[in-house]
A and B are shown apart, each in its own frame.
Chain A
Amino acid sequence: MVERAIQDRIGIWAQSSGQKQEDSWVKASQNGDTLAFNRLVLKWEKTVFNIALRMLREREEAAEATQEIFFRAYRNIDRFRQKSRFSAWIYRIALNHCISRIRQRPPGIHLSLDEQKCAVNPPKQLHVTETQLDQVMRSEECDRVLGALAYLTPEQRAVIELKFFQGMTFEDIAGILEIPLSTTKSRLYSGLGILKVHLAEKT
């Protein structure tokens, strides 16, 4: 019990300390410090890349979009207000950029549903270790999720992303996407219904 309490305290302290550090990087970036901005990039690149990957479902395009998202954030860092969280701000930029990219795709071009999109290094020898097996299974799961996401509209994908992959509340999601709470919920439940059909049938 005592250990748990100490761990919780350390966690809260680390979170608060990390938040302060992030705030100072944002402030420095607003004063033109590119190094500080790149610290923010380093902190958030994995999250942003994965948002782009789940929205766009294509690794190369997701990487390209991630670079554009950070460049757009860098150009607009002056507009960011410290009273909101940097994470919420970067999620909004990322999702809007991905939705805009999807809309700009020429009609008639659909990405394959079965294509392998998640990173995996297939074992070269017959005898595989547990770690390699775990990696292969995770990659398969990732491909299944990306495959099922293909059936959603970009707007449904954005809500699912923020709720399940970023663990945000309905109110925060509505604020980030600038849509009413009722719309947020209806997009989530309709999207979830579609995902259930496509994920359950392969289980």
Chain B
Amino acid sequence: MTSECKEQQDKIARFLIGDLTEAERRSLEDHLTVCAVCRSEKESYAGTLDLLQSSRDEPVPRHFFIHPDEPESNPWRLYRRMKPRWQWITAAAAVLFLLVGMAAVSRLQFRSDADGWTVAFGNDTRIDALEEEISKLSNERNLYATTAQLLEMRSGFESILADMSRQQQLLLTALELQDSKQTGQLVSAEARWRKDTGEILTALYQNVSGYRAQDLENIGSRFNSLEMNQAVQARQTNAILTALMQESGSGFIKTEN
């Protein structure tokens, strides 16, 4: 059986009952013309439906008449059978009866005391007094209960407070520890920084002093060489002048050297 057969066979019962859409019906009919397996399945379903629909009802073995042995005692049914006017009257009477009955029951008293049982109607002052006492006791009981509740709440709050202070203390200790640790770290860092900076400055100073001494020395030697050059040049100039004067024969130029 192909997957299409499986899909189409699910539709056969719906097809025979007329519960398929037009498109589904056409698709199934097309498939049935080419698939013998599905045709056989359709025949099988059709036979079942024929058998079910041709099945006739069996005759009854006896009649099933109702014989109401008891007189009709259902009040609702009796009420429904009344004429509307009597239905209104009965309803009003029932409501009145119910109200009077409720009032009577609320006033009815059953008492037991030393003399035995007593049935009475109306208010009983002893009951009022007892009710008052019960109410008072009940109020007191409520007060005790409230006080106990408040005390319980207070102890609860106290324990919460103690818990909180303990936690606060722990937090403070932890903070102090942290603080001292950080201060120590800062001091050591400062000392290290100072030392490092001093060393750097000293080295720098030494370098700069070295360079300065060398520069001064260079400048001195330069000046010396300049002086020496100047002296040499002056000497040469004088020699030149002397030579010139000697050449010209006039003696008014005199060298100072």
Contacts and interface: CB of A to CB of B under 8 A. Distances in A.
Contact of A145 (B52, B68, B80): B52
Contact of A164 (B44, B47, B53, B63): B53
A153 to B, nearest CB: 17
A165 B54 CA distance: 9
Contacts, number: 93
Interface stretch (A17-25, A65-73, A80-88): A65-73
A199 B47 contact: yes
Interface residues of B, number: 31
B48 A144 contact: no
Interface stretch (A3-11, A28-36, A101-109): A28-36
Contacts of B53: 164
Given A32-B72, A50-B58, A200 B44 contact: yes
A142 B66 contact: no
A200 B64 contact: no
B62 A164 contact: no
Contact of A37 (B47, B51, B58, B66): B66
Interface string B144-177: 0000000000000000000000000000000000
A49 B59 CA distance: 9
A150 to B, nearest CB: 15
Given A31-B81, A189-B14, A67 B52 contact: no
Q: Which of B14, B44, B65 has the most CB of A within 10 A?
A: B65
B80 A195 contact: no
B64 A45 contact: yes
Nearest to B51: A199
B95 to A, nearest CB: 22
18 contacts: A32-B81, A34-B68, A38-B65, A38-B66, A41-B65, A46-B57, A49-B58, A53-B58, A67-B64, A70-B64, A119-B61, A141-B51, A144-B51, A145-B55, A165-B55, A170-B19, A195-B48, A199-B48
